[in-house]
Chain A
């Protein structure tokens, strides 16, 4: 994906990033002061924070604890790097897989176009390097152009795609240059993009970029391979530069067989809007379509979260948050992956036992849990593990290492079942645009699972045989994705059902119970098929309405059976991870952390920090908890607190007076209370007063400017020179 994934929080500095910034968006107060206070409190502050997160840990001696923590932390970070690299490589593979078919289409088109250009004539070296055009016919100026529709308004996701496309074509022997919209700026003009083109082809920078250079270069390359120029995103290019570029290339197209590939983020209207007609009609366009973002998203979710990949998982609330963020806020895969990474980081940071994940990745099957191998004291670890809320709910057996290991393998088994059911549901709904992300959210929902359980129980109590007339599945949410999938199964034709069952059979291979049932259904289907085909053979000429009716009935009953099976699978086997004991080790659930890290809400943060700065600066004077304004407070903070009393407009004079009184008042009273030992030095005092007046004004001005820069205040205008305007109200 885009570089942003990589620089979101580079693994090497993760420790720093997490502890120092705590992933807060930014600080209003000067960085220096904050750091100072933090350093002052470093010893206690850090441990306090950690203790907050894991209160179960016994605190015998702080020093020892610290060291232990440190050691564990590094282990967890190691595990994080391991897990994340696994996830990242999986994502990369998935995305590459998705694009392969389009890439090969583009490649065949490139070669076909190249042959077309070649058929117009192959000039020899002196011919190709001459400045006047080779005239064959009017079509010889056509520039073959592939418009690649990326189907996403946001462009970040496709940076990598075009890079990969370039690599793919290069591997097929084309000369490829990747230009981005930065090369087509009005400032640099046509020279800029030519220069970068030549730099990529000739591997050298030239003083004067001239396309005839390219012609000579190509002549030396023996005319065997097409030259492909990829422009990432034409929407962002400067139209006039791009059109100049196209005109120039089209003049040389016989001499340099250039094939243009342009990424279009929105619609095919985009080139029409950007380019003038004389450039447009030089193009000979073909369009290619990349997969829509939702499809890619599904593929990524399937590979990373549903299929066994790293063992890391996210809870329902986190999943819903991420889904909504994707659908309504950002819409890019890049940000989804970034969110996933943040979640992963947070998880490893917060969860002491998360290092287990690493070994889960290492040895998939014959995995045995041994605490000792980590060099940790088993008591502490076990105690922590058995204090996890999910375990507290269940209250199983004794606190031993074996029982923990057993519970973990049980968790794995249940996860496998869940996975199989989710994939079955996904396969069912694939044709009808059921999105895996939605499905994932719903399948992970603890509440709906509990409701399903509850419904099933009550139904069993009411009547032992659940009535077949109830079309609504037990406890399925109306309009939910799962319900939709069940409904779909009911309406499938026999052949489709057969196909679907085959897929189900493959998916549920590891789970005997379901697999058996699926096979049963398949054999039923086969029998049915045989019957109907026989019937067909017998009564082909006549079409009996009754027979058709019967047939429909049959298939319907089969569909019903399949639907019942699916419901049963959902009810019995699709156990969300959050209701399994010890899931906290694998599953990230803290949605608030993720939200604050991802969205930040900087403006609110600024205001909160200004108003409740005591929470950030644990300084001695403010720690008493009084909300009164003290002169030792930060100026900007005082000012903003004072501004709260005003309405829309703030009278600068009043503001200044109150600021001054806050800054001076207590100290002056102190001064007064102190018996002045030397009354002769009144002059001095006067001077210092004067000086302080000036310095207060300066402080006032600085604070106002800071407020303006943070966007909380608008400076006085000419029309109202005495009033500043408040911009932000409320939090």
Chain B
């Protein structure tokens, strides 16, 4: 084990040293799984050309173009950049094409490999190394610097290519699953993530430059990205990769995609007739659509007893009217989380259905309630924070000071065109700015005003004897504690701070709905204090 650890300890390993180390590595005792050349291929039955096209509906031109760029067996290629929106089949096309061609490739996703080091080591590991408990899940080499990576990679690739050539020499003894050709392809998925790593200063140019650096005709580079080539800076003096665009699917493509693997095709196509058009206006991402459709289809076929039935016109109409209320809600809902166990939910739905459409009525039912526990002072604090970031600071005196300015602002002047326009402008500006920030002192002042006010009203209403002791929610150390827990719950956002001066500024992220709910639970007249323009 010490032999394996040693390269990790020494940061700078010379080439000769690492090479000797390599030799030791290869003569290691028996491992549970020994990767072979076959692992560089897809290791599944290769697809025929027809299957390839049929399993990727709507991507015919892209597949053909890709095949053209990859060229025939053992032909060198320029780097390719495949780009297109999310969920347009980029990764699937690449993988299926390689399955069809059965050529060796190394895939690495920059989501999984979240740092240069992990990326490098993952690529190196794929060339004949597997982590397991035998080698205590360590990588084949520690590799952090691009220069080291190039050296290691070249070494590894050379040995692999030599092996491949040796294999193709004795092509006659064709082993099934053995990858074809002597080209090896490096695939980098989710390239857009690399931009975030180090502000795209070193790694991204390095990756694009890899083709020139390696100078190995047997290596092909394929980049996959969500964003278009314009977002990478290409005027850095290296060979620009050939762009290949994957456009969004059209409605017909989507229909083909969703019709695949359906048992009752007629029923499903009538379902798609209903839903595909409205949803295509919102999104064309297959993953989003399939999530929505699977739940909607369940609802659609709910009234049917026999799933195998072919619908006629009348039935379609009935099913449509059954489904219609769900479509609009599903269109507006991006993230729906049903409660568990599902049985209970159905019951609840059944109950609410009597009153109206299911989800809306449920919302209305507990509109008045906040569905989590907050202590009273936290509620007041939240309201005062809301007020502090909604109202301009200049208005505090008139709102909270009883001896202060009475509402003399009430005299109405006739608003001119211009002033109205100005008003609109300021309103718009405020909307753009969002809630304002406020210092801690202002928050506490408003809190004090509100609580004292509320206590007065409480005393008038009921001189309940339980409120004598400790009922005074006066300003105490715990209020600051409450504030920090409100910050933790993301209701209040803390700005930059200076520890001694105490000049932290806060801002609320609470929606007006929630603030109103909280106020209602306290019987606090929030709307009276809100400044409306």
Contacts and interface: CB of A to CB of B under 8 A. Distances in A.
Interface string B116-160: 011001100110001111001111001000000000000000000
A329 B95 contact: no
Contact of A191 (B115, B341, B488, B514): B115
B334 A272 contact: yes
14 contacts: A109-B340, A133-B109, A152-B373, A152-B374, A153-B373, A155-B485, A210-B139, A281-B288, A283-B335, A284-B291, A288-B339, A326-B375, A329-B482, A331-B373
B488 A236 contact: yes
Contacts of B138: 206-207
- Please list the 6 inter-chain residue pairs (A to B) with the smallest Cβ-Cβ separation, ordered nearest first: A331-B375, A285-B337, A132-B107, A328-B376, A324-B470, A286-B340
B404 interface: no
A212 interface: yes
Nearest to B5: A207
A615 B478 CA distance: 27
Interface of B: 8, 32-33, 35, 39, 43, 86-87, 91-92, 95-96, 106-109, 111-115, 117-118, 121-122, 125-126, 130-133, 136-139, 142, 187, 261, 286-288, 290-291, 294, 334-341, 371-378, 462, 464-471, 473, 476-478, 481-482, 485-486, 488-491, 500, 509, 514
A270 interface: yes
Interface string A126-151: 11011111010111011000110111
A330 B478 contact: yes
A288 B470 contact: no
Interface string A313-345: 000010011011111111100000000000000
A189 interface: yes
Interface string A464-484: 000000000000010100000
Given A287-B339, A328-B375, A329-B478, A216 B469 contact: no
Interface stretch (A45-53, A247-255, A353-361, A512-520): A247-255
Interface stretch (A300-308, A371-379, A593-601, A696-704): A593-601
Contact of B339 (A155, A213, A277, A286): A286
B112 A324 contact: no
A217 B39 contact: no
Interface string A243-280: 01001100110000000000001111011111001101
Contacts of B341: 105, 108-109
A131 B114 contact: no
Interface stretch (A289-297, A415-423, A500-508, A624-632): A289-297
B132 A220 contact: yes
Contacts of A127: 43
A273 B473 CA distance: 31
Interface in A188-224: 189-191, 202, 204, 206-208, 210-213, 216-217, 219-220
Contact of B466 (A141, A217, A329, A441): A441
Interface string A591-617: 100010001111100000000000000
Nearest to A284: B291
A365 B531 CA distance: 66
Contact of A438 (B35, B466, B470): B466
Contacts of B290: 137-139
Nearest to B479: A329
B372 A329 contact: no
Contacts of A265: 372, 489
Contacts of B112: 131, 210-212, 248, 251-252
A217 B340 contact: no
A447 B465 CA distance: 10
Nearest to A280: B335
Contacts of A326: 375
B375 A292 contact: no
A600 B477 CA distance: 8
B292 to A, nearest CB: 10
A132 B95 contact: yes
Residue among B126, B372, B491 facing the most chain A CB atoms (10 A cut-off): B372
B514 to A, nearest CB: 8
Contact of A479 (B121, B334, B462): B462
Nearest to A325: B470
Contacts of B96: 135
Residue among B39, B337, B473 facing the most chain A CB atoms (10 A cut-off): B337
A486 B347 CA distance: 33
Contacts of B338: 285-287
B294 A139 contact: yes
Contacts of B122: 131, 210, 212
Q: Main SS of the interface on chain A?
A: helix
A249 B258 CA distance: 25
A317 B469 contact: yes
Contacts, number: 234
B304 to A, nearest CB: 22
A134 to B, nearest CB: 9
Contacts of A151: 371-373
Residue among B117, B375, B490 facing the most chain A CB atoms (10 A cut-off): B375
Given A125-B33, A153-B378, A294-B373, A147 B469 contact: no
Given A217-B133, A327-B376, A329-B478, 14 more contacts: A130-B126, A131-B126, A132-B109, A139-B294, A155-B488, A191-B114, A191-B115, A213-B137, A236-B488, A285-B337, A286-B337, A328-B375, A331-B378, A448-B465
A287 B340 contact: yes
A329 B39 CA distance: 62
A595 B474 CA distance: 14
A266 B481 CA distance: 17
A270 B371 CA distance: 13
Contact of B374 (A153, A216, A277): A153
Contacts of B261: 137
A20 interface: no
Residue among A190, A220, A273, A329 facing the most chain B CB atoms (10 A cut-off): A329
Given A131-B108, A438-B466, A217 B478 contact: no
Residue among B91, B139, B339, B509 facing the most chain A CB atoms (10 A cut-off): B339
Given A131-B112, A153-B372, A216 B340 contact: no
A115 interface: no
A126 B39 contact: yes
A280 B468 CA distance: 48
A183 interface: no
Contacts of B476: 329, 599, 601
A207 B287 contact: no
Contacts of A206: 137-138
A235 interface: yes
A273 B490 contact: yes
Contacts of B142: 207-208
Contacts of A16: none
A438 B465 CA distance: 12
Contacts of B477: 599-603
B107 A216 contact: no
Given A273-B490, A320-B469, A244 B114 contact: yes
Contacts of A277: 334
A330 B500 CA distance: 26
Given A149-B372, A328-B377, A320 B466 contact: yes
A110 B111 CA distance: 26
Nearest to B123: A131
A154 interface: yes
B373 A248 contact: no
A281 B291 contact: yes
Residue among A109, A244, A328 facing the most chain B CB atoms (10 A cut-off): A328
Interface string A427-445: 0000000000010011001
Contact of B86 (A274, A278, A283, A602): A278
B455 to A, nearest CB: 11
A248 B469 contact: no
B440 to A, nearest CB: 12
B43 A320 contact: no
Contacts of B139: 208, 210
Contacts of B187: 132
